[in-house]
Amino acid sequence: MKNYLNFEKDIKDLESELDKLKDPYNSEGIAEVNTNKISNIQNEIDAKLKKIYSNLNSWETTLVARHEDRPKAKFFIENLFDDVILLAGDRFYGEDKSVIAGFAKFESKSVLVIGQEKGDDLETRLDRNFGMMRPEGYRKTIRLMKLADKFKIPIILFIDTPGAYPGVGAEERGQAEAIAKSIECSMELTVPTISIIIGEGGSGGAIALASSNKVIMLQNAIYSVISPEGCATILWRDPKKTLEASKAMKLSSKDLLDLEIIDEVIEEPNGGAHRDKNLILENVRNSLINNLDFFKSMDSDEILNHRKNKFLAIGRNKGFISQSKANKNLIMEDDIYNKITNLVLNNLNIVISIGVLTLIFLFYFLLL
């Protein structure tokens, strides 16, 4: 059964009609299949999908990124890699099923593959904790990334999470520290790391696995510090203002590519990745091949410096820093009173010394 978003109502109606035409054994009895009408309706569906998906706003893009039928990390790992050997446990506490990790072959070469997995139905989503990793999940990935670094094996990461799990148990076991250690470990690796955001890239839960040489997004994925609902609740105290929040957050792949926060956008099939999983597989495969080839001639120091320089450059040429300098409205200019006050406060010891000396001279001249 297909799942449709609110703005896909016309598509749903047309596809229902198409399914009836393709089935000669319908409620009206055996009927002749009308191939011309089927072709016309299919063309109409394709045209409507193209029109809708080429004009998605930021909130609609968020809904597509969360689509139930969207291909998950498990799908990509099972279909892109060979000889997958999954590994479990952080060697401290236990296993975290919200993240899949192990060594595999990609185009006959060894890689470490890591993927945040949401699950496909209610049972697997509960088992996978909806893709929200716990501290043991991050510590598992740290353990395996260090192992891959030791044997000079490239690392490929699939990111799809609403954020790190905020439960009491996770906080007690050091959630923030585990995320920070994961970022630190990622930045110190001397092997190529490629992160692909395939759905939601939520907050620190995502960036813990996205501190990579190359950060890539699927066309209709999102990457943000907070969910639009959370942002709207904080800024406007109204969780319904998700459209305004998502626009302000610039969470789409296009916005983030323009800001040079990500390196590449992988084009999705017409109507989203869930409508043609074979095509999105091929697009992701080609992107991985090209990006792994990019690092072939680099040594360990060059790979490390590439990653360091990439993150140091964020915001320097585009984003808030350059906008602040260009837009005087964003710079608060002090008046004369504030400037004098700040000057006095910053040089308080000197001002006091001058004041004391002035009083001494005054008393001296008065006594004379």
Reported as a single tens digit per residue, the pLDDT across 135-177 is 999 999 999 999 999 999 999 999 999 999 999 999 999 999 9
- Give the Å distances, CA to CA, from 342 to 66, 333, 337, 354: 50, 13, 9, 17
Reported as a single tens digit per residue, the pLDDT across 108-129 is 999 999 999 999 999 999 999 9
What are the structural domain ranges in the chain? Answer: 6-55, 64-322, 336-367
| pTM exceeds cut of 0.85 | no
What's the rounded Cα separation, in Å, for the pair 223 and 99?
18
Looking at residue 338, its pLDDT comes to 64
Mean pLDDT of the chain: 88
Looking at residue 332, its pLDDT comes to 43
What's the rounded Cα separation, in Å, for the pair 79 and 262?
25
Structure tokens at 33: 């299949």
| Nearest by Cα to 197 from 285, 116, 316, 84 | 116
Pick the range with the lowest mean pLDDT from 1-5, 58-62, 192-196: 1-5
What's the rounded Cα separation, in Å, for the pair 234 and 239?
8
Looking at residue 322, its pLDDT comes to 47
For the chain, percent of residues with pLDDT exceeding 90: 69
Higher per-residue confidence, 30 vs 78: 78
pLDDT of 328 above 80? no
DSSP assigned state of 221: -
pLDDT of 23 above 80? no
Region 188-206: what's the mean pLDDT?
94
Is 64-322 a CATH 3.90.226.10 domain? yes
